[in-house]
Structure 1
Amino acid sequence: MDERSGRSRIHGGLRVRCDVHGSASQPSAVRLEGQSRGTGRVRIWRRPQERHPRIHRIDRGFDITQRTARRGNSVSIVADSAASLPASVLSDPKLHVVPMTLTINDQEFIDGVDISVADFYALLKQSPGGATTSAPSPAAFVRGFEAAARESDSILCIVVAAHFSATADSARTASEQFLLTHPDCNITIMDSESAAGGEGLIAMGALDQARNGGSLTETLALAKSIKERVRLLAFVDTLYYLWKGGRVPRIAHLGVSLLKLKPTFELRHSNIENLGRPRTVKKAMNKIIDLMAERIDGARIHVSINHAASAENAALLSQRISEEFECVDSYVTEFTPVMGAHIGPGMLGVAFWAE
């Protein structure tokens, strides 16, 4: 058997060298060896009778079989853990959550990964200095983008409101780094201007569009539409943890504690509006229901109910909402520790958007 080597040629940005084994009339195998920026060195053996080449070795980069199998307009969603997404969507291959970091008693934890919600609140009660949080690092976002790019050609990254966190800046830095080695991928970073269930509803709406084959343009358009309509209404059981974190004055914490008030607020477009201070949980729930009715005006709604160690009250609020309104879908989730770090246990909120 003789062996002949062909010339190197450029095919679509990939330099390919073709080596033929066997005779010219009856080649036993053809080897293609190439180098492409961002994908590493690839060798493929193909016998004449085979319809598809076999990958012999890939030194680094994505698996070619995965990349060629993807649809041209496929989209994956990346979100940070502040979105407090329901467990039912966390295993979706088109969704990738990048965890934030929290520090308590000089110990650092990855949000939702190496500390449970129950353990977190137990530590929080024992911590004289409270807890602090930080945005995911650019490296953490790069890992999320790499996982998403294995599934899709485009990525929509939805992050907690930039007004409250450096997460958006970290995601943008990561996207610049990622695109240096993956120039064929499209990434859009979107500031949700919300948090918790508000951010989560935007991410879940985008995820549904991506599942249904929507392009990046279509998925982004839907996410922006939901962003314009989503609202988050909530009340806190105490201002103690907000005071410890330096977010409210001590006098406010003492007044709320003494009078057993439930400060109620609305988050929309990165703006927090104080809506009053009902004196009981029941009255706070009634206020939220009344405010929802005013804002949706009889329309069908998508709902996410979030709570901080207050599952019983969350179930009651969920039942009332299902009785009062026409819900397209409704989720009950617990705030991840990174959200609970600022508000402490007892908070109850509902995010919603009307069709």
Structure 2
Amino acid sequence: MTSRRVGLVVDTGAALEQRIDGGRAVVAMHVDIGGASIDNSADGEVYVRLRRGEKATTSTPSPGEYLAAFEQLTGVEAIVCLTIPARWSGTFASATVAAGMFRDCRDVPTVDVVETPTAAVAYGLVARIADALGAAGADRDAVLARVRSACDEVRMYGALETLEYVARSGRVPALVAGVSDALHVRPVFEMHGGGTGRVALARTDAGVLRALERVARERLEPGRPHWLMLFHADAAERAVELRERLLAVCDVASDETVALAPVIGVYTGPGAVGFAALPVHATDPPAVTQ
């Protein structure tokens, strides 16, 4: 049982631990390499096998898995379920079907499925503000309102070591990926409001870190505290250096560094690094971290 009024359901891409007694349920995303399922904590194994040329696939949790997560959160008035965009994953569809099944059986708690416009650590930051508000005793309306504003405000920046893996997903044309890799050019990207664009080009790891530092200095509102969430894919040392650079140029209220979950890492490939930033509101409770 939990004393919170609003429970939270996310998938493993949010990099939050399941705490049913704390009002938080996590639905597992599935990764398959070579016919075998890979545990979501086995990110190192994923990158070793990707480097060997093994092909990886991901599959969406079923409506039944989301329904089971909703049913585990007892004693709350409402449940907020966050997903990444429907165009990238079937999680929103599965969660929506499960919410309908749940409502057919009971009136309380209510279930709101929110399709966020972002993914990876930006999605993780939206999940954390929702979780922090829930833990502080906020009601459904307050949590949903802050989730919507966080979706509008959160920005993510990063760079991949190669476009090979994301090209396999069809999200980047193979020809573009091949030319980029042949020229040893690494686009530094921004994800905001459902769109993705290039903000810089770099050729080396050091160049990537300099570009990300410059982006933080120029694009994050000066003097306003931000929650930062850094990510890496088998590149922990680069994430440490990036954190030092960001702390030097940003007003940071809280920061956290995570290794990308395998379900994301199979698309980024090894070597990805970057961060997401969310401006802090005066009414925000302290950040929830792992």
TM over 0.5: yes
Higher relative contact order (CA 8 A, sep 6+): 2
Cα drift, residue 212 of structure 1: 0.9
- Greater helix share, structure number: 2
Q: Which runs of 5 or more structure 2 residues have no equivalent in the other structure?
A: 281-290
- Aligned partners of 1:123 and 1:219: how far apart in 2? 40
User: Which residue is 2:97 aligned to?
Assistant: 173
1:75 partnered with 2:1: no
- Aligned partners of 2:217 and 2:241: how far apart in 1? 17
User: Which residue is 2:61 aligned to?
Assistant: 136
Indicate conservation of the 8 Å contact 1:104/1:127, yes or no.
no
Secondary structure, in 3 states, of the residue corresponding to 1:297?
coil
Aligned residue among 30, 33, 37 for 1:108 = 37
Task: Report the residue type matching 1:196 in the other structure.
Answer: A
Cα drift, residue 122 of structure 1: 2.1
User: Which residue is 1:234 aligned to?
Assistant: 158
User: Which residue is 1:196 aligned to?
Assistant: 120
Task: Report the residue type matching 2:270 in the other structure.
Answer: P
Change (3 A) 1:151 1:118: farther
Aligned residue among 40, 43, 50 for 1:124 = 50
| CA shift digits 1:225-274 (9 cap, x unpaired) | 11110001010001121233333333323323233222211111221112
Matches within 5 A, 1:196-275: 196-275=120-199
Change (3 A) 1:352 1:166: same
Aligned residue among 229, 235, 238 for 1:313 = 238
Indicate conservation of the 8 Å contact 2:200/2:211, yes or no.
no
Secondary structure, in 3 states, of the residue corresponding to 1:273?
strand
Cα drift, residue 348 of structure 1: 0.6
- Aligned partners of 1:242 and 1:223: how far apart in 2? 28
Aligned residue among 238, 255, 265 for 1:330 = 255
Cα drift, residue 143 of structure 1: 1.3
Indicate conservation of the 8 Å contact 1:93/1:151, yes or no.
no
- Aligned partners of 1:218 and 1:161: how far apart in 2? 22
Task: Report the residue type matching 1:207 in the other structure.
Answer: D
Percent identity between the aligned chains?
26
Change (3 A) 1:288 1:203: same
- Aligned partners of 1:195 and 1:177: how far apart in 2? 26
Over 4 Å off, 4+ runs? 89-92
Task: Report the residue type matching 1:350 in the other structure.
Answer: F
Matches within 5 A, 1:75-94: 75-85=6-16, 93-94=22-23
| CA shift digits 1:168-205 (9 cap, x unpaired) | 11100011111222322111111111111111111110
Is the deviation greater in 205-214 or in 178-187?
178-187
Indicate conservation of the 8 Å contact 2:216/2:246, yes or no.
no
- Aligned partners of 1:92 and 1:289: how far apart in 2? 39
The count of residues paired between Structure 1 and Structure 2 equals 279
Cα drift, residue 165 of structure 1: 1.1
TM-score, with structure 1 as normaliser: 0.74
Secondary structure, in 3 states, of the residue corresponding to 2:108?
coil
Higher Cα Rg: structure 1 or 2?
Answer: 1
Q: Which runs of 5 or more structure 1 residues have no equivalent in the other structure?
A: 1-65
Indicate conservation of the 8 Å contact 2:216/2:249, yes or no.
no
Task: Report the residue type matching 2:208 in the other structure.
Answer: A
1:345 partnered with 2:270: yes
User: Which residue is 2:288 aligned to?
Assistant: none
Indicate conservation of the 8 Å contact 1:235/1:264, yes or no.
yes
- Aligned partners of 2:154 and 2:182: how far apart in 1? 33
- Aligned partners of 2:80 and 2:111: how far apart in 1? 6
Cα drift, residue 145 of structure 1: 0.7
| CA shift digits 1:83-106 (9 cap, x unpaired) | 234x6x868722211111122222
Task: Report the residue type matching 1:183 in the other structure.
Answer: D
Aligned residue among 258, 264, 279 for 1:354 = 279
